[in-house]
Amino acid sequence: MLNEPTETGILDMATDPALRDVCRRAIDGQRLHADDGLLLMRTPDLPTVGRLASLVRRRRNGRVTWYIVNHHINYSNVCENRCRFCAFHRVPGAEGAYTMTVDEVVAEARALGVSGATELHIVGGLHPDLPLEYYIEMLSRLHAMLPEVHLQAFTAVEIAHLADTAGRPVRDVLTVLRDAGLGSLPGGGAEVFAPRVRQALCPRKIPAERWLDVMATAHDLGIPSNATMLYGHIERPEEIIDHMLRLRQVQDRTGGFMTFIPLAFHPHHTELAAAAAASSGQPLRRTSGTTAYDDLRALAVGRLMLDNVPHVKAFWIMLGLELAQLSQHFGVDDIDGTVVQERITHAAGAATPQSLTVEEIRAMILDAGYEPQERNTVYRRVVRHGSMWQLAT
Ligand code: V47
């Protein structure tokens, strides 16, 4: 068992005196405010930020680090939004554009019978022509074939797009999708909420208010969700904190966000990186991608500011295996899953593998001094007997 620093130990070890008040408030379990968040974002004393986040993580989740046996399906890369940070999307008809039929999605999912996944994570682009019926049929057929597998599907941005193309309110669309088998929404499409950043990175994407409204409506209908934040491009520390506080505000009302997932920007093959190389447009903070300090800080500050969100996830695909492992000492209590076939980050140059085995994930957790625990999507414990699994009672 690791000896973690005591509350007074954290204060004694802090090398940045400006952090002392924030430390005291976090240790006392008080809510942190925007100014505190800015100090945490700016201090070079990242070890203290990590120790504080680790303390909060232990109070909430003990020594457990969760993982999930899951499978990603990206049904289409055709997208009208054309976000400048995204190397995955293609405009309709472009070379490399693809859209799976429902039969193909179902065939890909059929392989799950063998791998024993508890979750299917399904995300695509904003396709101009796919009707709502395509999505309903996809979910109903997957749910009929794999009733015990949780379907986490379609970001808030896709849901808003489906509602707009079908000419129906978001609440109706979410209701029919839920009735077809939708279990929860992934956290994608949040990016950074600040209008300045959205205007520069993804001017066609729905504004923050609509993203948050789709999520709040989902929560109201009993559909929980995750929340992401894409960092490491042109954002400023105050915009990161604003993003977290907007999520916290909605969460105070709905309680529906399960997990906060900071996503590290991968620049390769993106329009944003090309514009930076040509010295046009907004300058990227770093053209080579995020540093370990950026990554660990986003996770730790997320853990500290989002005091009402139960979990913080390090998506190892984007973060890399080494940092994902280390991040358990910076507030992270979830390192996602076995994944299988991730396309979005790999299109943007991720060097991580396409999947991990359960043994590899468990070793990453155990070697860092934590207790691996398999979960389902909504954080119920999963118990395995050979290739069979069930939820713990
Ligand atoms: O919204 C796109 C991001 C997101 C790049 O809910 C990029 O459990 C880095 O949201 N570099 C989609 N990131 C993926 C996503 C997600 C992933 C894992 C788990 C969950 C969850 C959600 O990927 C997009 C965008 O923010 N993204 N391009 C890029 N070049």
Task: Report the CATH number that the domain containing residue 90 is assigned in CATH.
Answer: 3.20.20.70
Q: Is 1 part of a structural domain of the chain?
A: no
pLDDT range class, residue 291, cuts 50, 70, 90? very high
Residue 4 Cα to ligand 1 middle (Å): 32
How does pLDDT run across 222-273, given as a tens digit for each residue?
A: 999 999 999 999 999 999 999 999 999 999 999 999 999 999 999 999 999 8
Regarding the beta carbon of 75 and ligand 1, being less than 6 Å apart is answered no
Q: Positive or negative CA dihedral for 255, 257, 259, 260?
A: negative
How high is the pLDDT of residue 303?
Answer: 98
Residue after which a domain boundary falls, among 57, 79, 96: 57
Please give the span between the terminal C-alpha atoms of the chain, in angstroms, as a whole number: 27
Asked if residue 92 has pLDDT above 90, the reply is no
Name the residue at shortest CA distance from atom 5 of ligand 1: 86
Helix axes 208-220, 156-166, angle to 10 degrees: 90
Q: Which residue has the tokens 């940070």?
A: 85
Regarding the beta carbon of 224 and ligand 1, being less than 6 Å apart is answered no
More confident residue, 3 or 179: 179
Same domain, residue pair 209 and 232: yes
**Amino acid in position 202:** C
Residue 228 Cα to ligand 1 middle (Å): 7
Distance between CA atoms of residues 334 and 183, nearest Å: 19
Asked if residue 3 has pLDDT above 80, the reply is no
Regarding the beta carbon of 215 and ligand 1, being less than 6 Å apart is answered no
Q: Which atom from ligand 1 is nearest to the alpha carbon of 348?
A: 30
Q: Is 271 part of a structural domain of the chain?
A: yes
Regarding the beta carbon of 188 and ligand 1, being less than 6 Å apart is answered yes
Structure tokens at 269: 């093959």
Asked if residue 339 has pLDDT above 90, the reply is no
Residue after which a domain boundary falls, among 57, 76, 99: 57
Q: Is 188 part of a structural domain of the chain?
A: yes
Same domain, residue pair 244 and 333: yes
Distance between CA atoms of residues 27 and 56, nearest Å: 8
Same domain, residue pair 123 and 271: yes
Same domain, residue pair 53 and 88: no
**Amino acid in position 129:** D
Name the residue at shortest CA distance from atom 17 of ligand 1: 188
Yes or no: say if 322 and 312 are a contact pair by the CB < 8 Å rule.
no
Regarding the beta carbon of 32 and ligand 1, being less than 6 Å apart is answered no
Name the residue at shortest CA distance from atom 13 of ligand 1: 265
Regarding the beta carbon of 266 and ligand 1, being less than 6 Å apart is answered yes
Same domain, residue pair 71 and 184: yes
User: Residue 184: which domain range?
Assistant: 58-391
Q: Is 332 part of a structural domain of the chain?
A: yes
Residue 315 Cα to ligand 1 middle (Å): 9
Same domain, residue pair 246 and 319: yes
Distance between CA atoms of residues 218 and 23, nearest Å: 35
Same domain, residue pair 264 and 356: yes
Q: Is 2 part of a structural domain of the chain?
A: no
How does pLDDT run across 182-223, given as a tens digit for each residue?
A: 999 999 999 999 999 999 999 999 999 999 999 999 999 999
Cα distances (angstroms) measured from residue 124 to each of 81, 88, 155, 165: 12, 10, 8, 15
Residue 348 Cα to ligand 1 middle (Å): 11
Helices (H), the chain: 7-13, 20-27, 34-42, 46-61, 102-110, 112-115, 132-145, 156-166, 170-180, 195-201, 208-220, 237-254, 271-277, 292-305, 316-319, 321-326, 344-347, 358-367
Residue 320 Cα to ligand 1 middle (Å): 14
Helices and strands, counts by H and E, the chain: 18, 12
Q: Which residue has the tokens 């007997």?
A: 385
Same domain, residue pair 146 and 42: no
The string over 286-304, giving b where at least 16 C-beta atoms fall within 10 Å of a residue's C-beta and e elsewhere, is eeebbeeebbbbbbbbbbb
How high is the pLDDT of residue 352?
Answer: 78
Q: Which atom from ligand 1 is nearest to the alpha carbon of 86?
A: 28
Regarding the beta carbon of 191 and ligand 1, being less than 6 Å apart is answered yes
Number of domains in the chain: 2
Asked if residue 112 has pLDDT above 80, the reply is no
Structure tokens at 128: 């101009």
Q: Which of 66, 67, 83, 86 is the best mutation target for the ligand 1 pocket, counting ligand atoms within 8 Å of the beta carbon and taking the most?
A: 86
Same domain, residue pair 21 and 151: no
Yes or no: say if 336 and 314 are a contact pair by the CB < 8 Å rule.
yes
- Side-by-side strand order, sheet with 257-264: 225-231, 257-264, 311-312
Cα distances (angstroms) measured from residue 303 to each of 37, 262, 328: 11, 10, 11
Q: Which of 67, 211, 230 is the best mutation target for the ligand 1 pocket, counting ligand atoms within 8 Å of the beta carbon and taking the most?
A: 230
Distance between CA atoms of residues 282 and 300, nearest Å: 27
Distance between CA atoms of residues 128 and 130, nearest Å: 6
Same domain, residue pair 138 and 78: yes
Residue 3 Cα to ligand 1 middle (Å): 35
Regarding the beta carbon of 234 and ligand 1, being less than 6 Å apart is answered no
Distance between CA atoms of residues 266 and 37, nearest Å: 24
pLDDT range class, residue 116, cuts 50, 70, 90? confident
Yes or no: say if 253 and 216 are a contact pair by the CB < 8 Å rule.
yes
Q: What percent of the chain has pLDDT over 90?
A: 80
How does pLDDT run across 378-393, given as a tens digit for each residue?
A: 999 999 987 789 999 8
How high is the pLDDT of residue 392?
Answer: 93
Name the residue at shortest CA distance from atom 10 of ligand 1: 188
How high is the pLDDT of residue 276?
Answer: 83
Q: Is 153 part of a structural domain of the chain?
A: yes
Closest Cα to residue 352, out of 362, 340, 363? 340
Name the residue at shortest CA distance from atom 12 of ligand 1: 188
How high is the pLDDT of residue 204?
Answer: 97
How high is the pLDDT of residue 388?
Answer: 86
How high is the pLDDT of residue 2?
Answer: 65
Mean pLDDT of all residues in 158-167: 98
Name the residue at shortest CA distance from atom 8 of ligand 1: 186
Same domain, residue pair 196 and 342: yes
- Side-by-side strand order, sheet with 150-153: 70-73, 119-122, 150-153, 182-184
Which neighbouring-strand residues pair with 263?
230
How high is the pLDDT of residue 7?
Answer: 85
Q: What percent of the chain has pLDDT over 70?
A: 98
